[in-house]
A = this chain, B = another copy of it.
Amino acid sequence: MNLTSKASKLVVNLAKELKELPPPESLAFGQTKTDHMLVVNYHPVHGWSAPEIKPYAPLEIDPMASCLQYATTIFEGMKAYVGPNGEARLFRPDLNMARLARSAERVALPPFDQNELLKLIKRLIQVESRWIPTLPGYSLYIRPTIIGTRDALGVAASDASCIYVIVSPTGPYFKNGGHKLGVNYAPGFLPQRHALKQGYEQILWLLGKEEKVTEILTLLITLCASSNRSEIKLITPPLDGTILPGLTRASTLALARAHSQKTITLPGLSSSLNIVVEERPLTMAEIAAYSASNALLEAFGVGTAVIVAPVSKIGWKGKDLVLPAHEGGLGPIGQAMWKMITDIQTGKIEFEGWSVVCE
């Protein structure tokens, strides 16, 4: 059986009429549908179908399909940017493909060829390149998705699947700058709705009686603490299996380490500043203690959709831990990270081949 979806077999069926591009300022995250999508199907007997780029349209899914009945669905979040010469660029797409492959293995969906899928995604981005916004902070969000399409109700791994990739032009993830967190200390999931009602934007998930910090809904949290301004600690929970191994998380930590090793200088920071990265369990009690002693300089969440988002306050045990206010929302470290990452993403700065041109 051929497990490779050969990109060379790609069929491109272009839409007869193209949609009008919406004004960038009207874009909300993940609400705009473009002209085309990529679809490849896997059948347990026939193997992979010829990949197809075709007009964006509803998928036809059997009512018994594994994805609808047993939630066999996985996805990645990626972004495309326009580079200095008008070229479309992806940010560390190999990491997305590797994580998608691990996700497929985890839910027992058929394996796929990472390189071939990346080639197909690059081709889709070329076809949809007019949809990449060029305003700073804007990009074309890419959502590779794999759904289980086995059409029988018996509880079993899905031996059939559909890989599809859709894209959506997007602006800054959060409309207002400050990022307010409601801490969830109820057992299990407390709906985000509840946090919103209380005036918070996101839930910060805590683990165990120790209330160890894990994730902000779509984000990871990172904290700076210091008693000495020539050295700043950048603290984030470790990848112990409870939090997403985030690509922006990994990139943020790599850039902090590169700055401290003087390989690069992060914009706006002194080259002599030592940023000590600590990947370790972090409790709410510890954050509250840092806050009380004024050692808490800034906090921010990171993620593909937001890149870097400031945290202005954290609601915990009925009180708010208020973080120092910074112009524009982000503190110096968060600001430096945001600038550096977006400069790499848009090809303004080259760093370790992270930005990949869609050729």
Query: CB within 8 Å of B: which residues of A?
Result: 28-31, 33, 37, 56, 58-64, 67-69, 71, 73, 75, 108, 141, 143, 145, 147, 152-157, 164, 166, 168, 188, 191-193, 217-218, 241
Known contacts A30-B152, A30-B153; A108/B59 CB under 8 A: no
Known: A31-B154, A59-B62. 17 other contacts (CB 8 A): A29-B154, A30-B152, A31-B153, A37-B63, A58-B60, A59-B60, A60-B60, A63-B145, A63-B166, A64-B143, A64-B166, A67-B73, A68-B147, A71-B71, A153-B168, A155-B218, A157-B192
Task: Assess whether A69 is in contact with B153, with CB atoms less than 8 Å apart.
Answer: no
What are 29 of the A-B contact pairs (CB < 8 Å)? A28-B154, A29-B154, A30-B152, A30-B154, A31-B153, A37-B63, A58-B60, A58-B63, A59-B60, A59-B62, A60-B60, A63-B145, A63-B164, A64-B168, A67-B68, A68-B73, A68-B145, A69-B73, A69-B75, A69-B145, A71-B71, A71-B73, A108-B191, A153-B168, A155-B192, A155-B217, A157-B191, A157-B192, A157-B193
List, in ascending order, chain B residues with CB within 8 A of A37's CB: 63
Task: Assess whether A153 is in contact with B143, with CB atoms less than 8 Å apart.
Answer: yes
How many copies of this chain sit in the oligomeric assembly? 2
Complex Cα distance, B259 from A37, in Å, reads 61
List, in ascending order, chain B residues with CB within 8 A of A164's CB: 63
* Closest-CB distance, A170 to chain B (whole angstroms): 9
List, in ascending order, chain B residues with CB within 8 A of A218's CB: 155
Name the residue of chain B whose CB is nearest to the CB of A170: B153
List, in ascending order, chain B residues with CB within 8 A of A108's CB: 191, 193
* Closest-CB distance, A225 to chain B (whole angstroms): 29
Complex Cα distance, B67 from A145, in Å, reads 12
